[in-house]
Amino acid sequence: MIDSIDPAALEYLFDTLAATYGPQHWWPHQDTDNPRFEILVGSVLTQHTAWTNVERAVATLLSAGPLTAEALLAYDDLADLIRQAGPHRIKAARLRALCQWFIDCGGFAAIDQMSTDTLCAELRAIRGIGPETADAIALYACGRPRFVADAYAFRIFERVGWWQGSRRYEGLRQKIEHAAPNRDAAFFDELHALIIEHAKTRCHKQRPDCAHCALAERCARVGVRPAGFEVV
């Protein structure tokens, strides 16, 4: 196991991906009246679901009324409204739990007073909200400097040689944050978005396009078959 990541190496990865893909403008949202709350909703809807399906479900919710915790809790047919975003009954239950927590704790006015650790612990205590969803909310809805260690991040960091062994969420999150101790939420926001873009554009799950990858010069390509480096 690699004990720590060289901060300069993380800066290189960030700068290279930023130069390759440009600004990512995350988190994409549709509701200009309540964009922070839309991030809470989207973070649940996107679990195990393509983003295009999330966009359709959010559009349906917005056509039904205001996107607020009170409005979502009042819908008897919430599951039907989010049907386009995958397992809708499970996600409706998770959304209800998140909305109830949001109201009970006092909304963003109270959330913004919480420490990051308290916020993430409270979010993780909600049924169906795991560490990845909690950190996405903390980062994108609350502006906290938190690294979202999702499956795309593990894939890329395993291949470049920064992570080995079982995929422990907290282990990778802390390792990346320790390599960027003075970086703000804007950095982690962009880093997460760039990692997803790179995973989708070049570092595919099957047959990564190493021949055209901006990181190829410094990537160990751990676990990548030679065919992944062929020019296709």
The binding site for ligand SF4 (CB under 6 A) comprises 156, 159-160, 202-203, 208-210, 213, 215-216, 219, 221, 224
User: How many Å apart are CA 100 and CA 44, to the nearest integer?
Assistant: 14
For tokens 């919480």, the residue is: 114
CB nearer ligand SF4, residue 123 or residue 215: 215
Q: CB of 211: closest distance to ligand SF4 in angstroms?
A: 8
Sign of the C-alpha dihedral computed for residues 71, 73, 76 and 79 taken in this order: positive
User: How many Å apart are CA 181 and CA 159, to the nearest integer?
Assistant: 23
CB nearer ligand SF4, residue 42 or residue 208: 208
CB nearer ligand SF4, residue 71 or residue 216: 216
CA dihedral 18, 210, 10, 130 (to 10 degrees): 90
CB nearer ligand SF4, residue 77 or residue 230: 230
Q: CB of 179: closest distance to ligand SF4 in angstroms?
A: 17
Q: CB of 140: closest distance to ligand SF4 in angstroms?
A: 24
CB nearer ligand SF4, residue 45 or residue 219: 219
Q: CB of 196: closest distance to ligand SF4 in angstroms?
A: 13
Helical H runs in the chain?
7-21, 35-45, 51-64, 69-74, 78-81, 88-105, 107-111, 116-124, 131-136, 151-160, 169-178, 185-201
